[in-house]
Chains A and B, each alone.
Chain A
């Protein structure tokens, strides 16, 4: 069940709307263009003065390429390995950019290409790679050189880089850039070297992969190395996928760069994943665990009206209403006056007719389009009635109430005693009478119903007073029944979506029956007419095939709801054990919903607010995403987790070595993906459970997990090891692009 709310006391009424402290809301971040990097020429002249030790060092990472001079403390710049090239048709000019300059322009952003194959540390787009290298050499001021790079190059590459990739890179550096010499090394080993490690286990979790490399006397045991295909890139993609699934209707634009920043800033490794996960969405402390990310949005403009304005508007409305009323009254009055005048006129006419000859009467009547005297009388009567009605209306009386019993005198007299006009009148009277009686009957029925309800209520009350327990039981039963009914209805509704459900099958069957031409057994027996429709229930079949059996219209839903409401009200009033917490409303409140906590955090959600619609809540994801390195199965990666890998290497593969405990004494973490809080903790705890009880486990982090690889490579330049490991231009020309020298920092020949 959902974790219970913390501070909703057992109140009989819905708790007052709580106020919440303002949420911690963070703006969304993504990689952007920062500033123009000036090419710098000082480095080259300095390098030319010390040709034996100076080199260009390029840490060719899949997340960031860091480049600089070996004699400097840190790289000159760091750039993503991307390029963008497009042709501006309006200007008739081709533009190309590299690194974060690509983000400066929208068109350029649309043409970004990555030098690396997505999710791996292998270069696959060599045009992009050349662009990136162009940029690197430009910014290092190599444009003063003529025809070639005149400084040695040290470059990092992936562990067990593919021969084809290395060959292509070597070709480019020697053929295209004419480097005097080139040396490759593995980034994490350079980092380990920089942190003064000699024997130990290097755990390097970076952007595209996680490697575990045992190093023995400064030499990497590459054959024991293991790679897990998971890194920062995969984490970001995974988080992006999760967010998209969490907010399918999200309107903001989500991209992996934003996800990368979220992973970096808000995710952390849990010390005890399963334990922490269990209570992650509990209300207690969710405030702190839930991170809200605000995407840009445009607020709908709601013009706030001042008190004064509102008053004025109300006044205006009232005014116009009054005017309308006045007009209506005036019109009514005019009509009334006209009717009175008419009445006067017709009365005069009637008076005139009294002593006129028949012919004159005829003439007078004809001139008023009246056929005979009776009609005139009728007109006068109607007018009188209308005037009376209008007058009562103006004074506000009810015309029905004080209406006396109409005259039904003619009904008693047989037809043969009446003349034609009287018969007509009789017919009219009969109609009037039935009308009158019907009204009376309806009134009586209403009264009876009212009485019945009152009686029921009285009985109910009596029963409650005499047998409260029984009464409550009954009500509780009704309550439960209604809830069950609602549940059942929901279930059926869902079932209808499933083709295999009973409801659907029955529906299909009746459709098939209706559509078939073959007369059924029943029909044959009963002749041609099947009496369909004689029974009102027959028509239900159409409803059934339209939406399925038992599906119900809105009406029934409303009924159930209102029934439930009344029962709950009564229970609230009389049952001491029934409090607001148990009502349906409270049960379906957002504060009971786990999914609400998951998607909307510990606050109510207002679907009308644009700001809240463009918010992302990170909670479980914060520990779920980094955890994948330790448990790849979470994200469907069919590989062993980091601890399993390290344990396997330490327990199985290195046992042959004499002093294999030395590896445990120096477990070294490097790479951007190890920067998560608690990473070292987790490695230590995880290994402890796999190793013998008294094993001396020491885990340490690199000083700078991001830049130490570059620094290590820079420090390596100029050493005798470097001199022995580098391949000169002459060697390249003699031995070809496949040729490499094996050394402590680099890959072996495969």
Chain B
């Protein structure tokens, strides 16, 4: 093999200098062993969170007054706290209490923290997303971006004038789909 050139040597030195793998990091806890499956994508995180939320929402309804026997003695409805209702005259059934404990916890944790009437639910990543637009959207040419008074029924592309139409008719359907995709109007086969 040929001897490395000067530039190659310089580059190698730079790489060695930039490398942070070989540097011992004193500030790190040497015993830190993270969970192997901690990398989750947004969809999975939101999915997990909403599932937890859904199950939590479903649970208190199960034990609301009309669905459960009256002598449950624990929670009645979502509005009153379980502490109030369980302080009634009937001594709580221990087996039932243990069964419902997790539900109670959930119910409590779902209750708004300050107790006062809240106009909107707490902000979460999903519910602060802006709603679809209600205003009429103007149409623009998919090829040039200029105002588009026409639409080609075959490819569903919007176009500005006859010349653009000529181009639209000369491109294959797959390319047309790509143009549509830029506008989010492409066909998705499931």
User: Which A144-171 residues have C-beta < 8 A from chain B?
Assistant: 144-149, 158-165, 168, 171
B96 within 8 A of A: no
The interface residues of chain A lying within 8 Å CB-to-CB of B23 are 138, 143
Which of B25, B28, B30, B48 sits near A164, CB closer than 8 Å? Answer: B48
B5 within 8 A of A: no
Is the Cβ of A223 less than 8 Å from the Cβ of B14?
A: no
B111 within 8 A of A: no
Taking the closest CB of chain A, its distance from the CB of B23, in whole angstroms, is: 7
Which of these binds chain A: B60-68, B73-81, B84-92, B143-151? B143-151
B128 within 8 A of A: yes
| Interface 1/0 per residue, B162-176 and A, CB below 8 Å | 111001011000010
User: Which B34-49 residues have C-beta < 8 A from chain A?
Assistant: 34, 38-42, 45-46, 48-49
**How many angstroms between the C-alpha atoms of A418 and B18 in the bound complex?**
112
Which of B21, B49, B131 sits near A95, CB closer than 8 Å? Answer: B21
A595 within 8 A of B: yes
**How many angstroms between the C-alpha atoms of A94 and B22 in the bound complex?**
8
Is the Cβ of B132 less than 8 Å from the Cβ of A226?
A: no
Is the Cβ of B121 less than 8 Å from the Cβ of A223?
A: yes
Number of A-B contacts (CB under 8 A): 216
**How many angstroms between the C-alpha atoms of A146 and B20 in the bound complex?**
18
A124-B42, A159-B128, A639-B132 known; A177-B29 Cβ under 8 A: yes
| Interface 1/0 per residue, A212-244 and B, CB below 8 Å | 000000000011111111000000001001100
A125-B39, A223-B121 known; A278-B146 Cβ under 8 A: yes
Taking the closest CB of chain B, its distance from the CB of A673, in whole angstroms, is: 15
B93 within 8 A of A: no
Taking the closest CB of chain B, its distance from the CB of A505, in whole angstroms, is: 16
Q: Could you tell me the dominant secondary structure of chain B's interface residues?
A: loop
User: Which A94-142 residues have C-beta < 8 A from chain B?
Assistant: 94-98, 101, 104-105, 108, 117, 120, 122, 124-127, 130-131, 134-135, 137-138, 142
B98 within 8 A of A: no
Which of these binds chain B: A197-205, A437-445, A626-634, A711-719? A626-634
Task: Return the chain B residue nearest A212 by Cβ.
Answer: B130
**How many angstroms between the C-alpha atoms of A178 and B12 in the bound complex?**
34
A177-B27, A633-B137 known; A126-B34 Cβ under 8 A: yes
Taking the closest CB of chain A, its distance from the CB of B144, in whole angstroms, is: 5
**How many angstroms between the C-alpha atoms of A621 and B140 in the bound complex?**
12
Is the Cβ of A104 less than 8 Å from the Cβ of B164?
A: no
Which of these binds chain B: A361-369, A469-477, A640-648? A640-648
Given contacts A105-B11, A281-B144, A636-B185, 12 further A-B contacts (CB under 8 A): A97-B20, A134-B20, A138-B20, A162-B46, A178-B29, A241-B181, A594-B161, A632-B133, A635-B183, A639-B133, A641-B135, A747-B123
Q: Return 26 A-B CB contacts under 8 Å, by A number.
A: A97-B20, A117-B41, A124-B39, A134-B25, A142-B26, A143-B27, A145-B27, A146-B26, A147-B30, A158-B125, A162-B46, A163-B49, A176-B34, A177-B28, A223-B121, A225-B128, A227-B130, A245-B178, A281-B146, A595-B143, A595-B144, A620-B144, A633-B137, A640-B134, A644-B130, A750-B123
